[in-house]
Structure 1
Amino acid sequence: MKEKIVERVKELLQPLIEERGLKLVDIEYITAGKPVLRIYVYNPEGTSIEDCEWISRRIGALLDIEDLIPVSYILEVSSPGLDRKLKNKEEYEIFKGRDIKIVTKEPIEGKNVFEGILRGLEDSKVVLETEEKTIKIPLESISRANLEFKIGGE
């Protein structure tokens, strides 16, 4: 049921997201307590409150028409956050150019922690530009990957 709702919301959102020039990062439907439908959108030029409000008004109206969620729920639309944990392979393309920290399950070239600039995904490998070199880390080797927010070149 939850998966069906998330998939249908994704179908309804896609044209709206494209119209606004945004990228859909994630959808969560949480049913514990009062249900919450949480939508994360990303604008490469900087996600604004206006972007979130615009999506919220439009998807809210569509969800009311579709009567997709039969109970009262909370709708939240937000940016993914500065230090977001990457959850799916599409996000490695969405957040190209951002600082990232990757922790691997097993050492690669003697290291488990890598920091650098995300350059995308190639053949199921995350391309990371570190201070020393560019490295490709297989997706299945990643334990955790988070966007990093650095102030003033720290």
Structure 2
Amino acid sequence: MTEEAAKLNDNTLEQNEAPVNDERIIRETGVDARVAGIIEPVLEALGFRLVRVRLSGLNGLTLQIMAERFDGTMTVEDCELVSRTVSPVLDVEDPIDRKYHLEVSSPGIDRPLVRKSDFANWQGHIAKVETSLVHNGRKKFRGRIAAVDVDSVTLEADQASYGDEPSATIPFDLLAEARLILTDDLIREALRKDKALREGRIADDELGLPDEQSGEDGPDEGDADKN
């Protein structure tokens, strides 16, 4: 791990303490961006950070809010707390002009990567990345996160493809989408980290893995219909 990547990791160690210079580098547009701008300071005041906002046509119209504590945990109770808190705020601000279904969830094991620290924290695992502009002749990349610094992430190809370079260094400012690929190694690492948090920082073994952490973004926690 590079020195810069190690620094990024250090910034995410303290529960409920906001990392220094660890803003999201992948952000929403349009209505999603308006919602994010409304709820992000509310989440931070509660001790959470926003991962992603996405408005989709699921179940008519669904507003999905992904969030987590600053150490990466997110319990069922946390999802319910976030839902109860942001729901009245959204009612007042009214950024969506139609009836919608509110879904609050954890990022899941195959999580979106939206901060530089996300790439550093999951270095060694496989990610899928899409850029906003053509980079090295393409916009879609997949590979193991090999190196992370303040400006870019380097992916090493995990699947042989004729004509492709074995590795690609992608500037953070070109990223449009990024997420982890679910693998056995990733599941084991996620469970190991969860166990460490249970034993070292969370009293009474209260940390649980929500259903979303199986890799499916479902409406199991903190759901509500909004007008």
TM interval, shorter chain, is 0.5 to 0.7
Is 1:23 the counterpart of 2:49? The answer is yes
Q: How does 1:72-151 map to 2 (within 5 A)?
A: 72-86=99-113, 90-94=114-118, 96-99=120-123, 100-102=125-127, 114-115=143-144, 120-123=148-151, 125-126=152-153, 137-139=169-171, 145-146=179-180, 148=182, 149-151=186-188
Secondary structure of the residue aligned to 2:187 is: coil
Aligned to 1:131: none
Q: TM-score scaled to structure 1, two decimals?
A: 0.66
Is 1:53 the counterpart of 2:80? The answer is yes
| Seq. identity, % | 26
Which stretches in structure 2 are left out of the alignment for 5+ residues? 1-27, 130-134, 156-166, 193-227
Q: For the structure 1 residues 91 and 59, does the alpha-carbon distance in structure 2 shift closer, same or farther, using more than 3 Å as the test? A: same
Do 1:85 and 1:147's aligned partners in 2 also have CA atoms closer than 8 Å? Answer: no
Do 1:93 and 1:121's aligned partners in 2 also have CA atoms closer than 8 Å? Answer: no
Aligned to 2:39: 13
Q: CA RMSD in A?
A: 3.7
The number of aligned residues is 137
Structure 1 or 2: more strand by fraction: 1
Which stretches in structure 1 are left out of the alignment for 5+ residues? 107-111, 129-134
Q: Alpha-carbon deviations, 1:40-98, whole Å to 9, x = none? A: 11222411112211111111111112233232210001111101243xxx433245322
**Aligned equivalents of 2:177 and 2:86: distance in 1?**
34
Q: TM-score scaled to structure 2, two decimals?
A: 0.48
Higher relative contact order, chain-length normalized (CA < 8 Å, sep 6+): 2
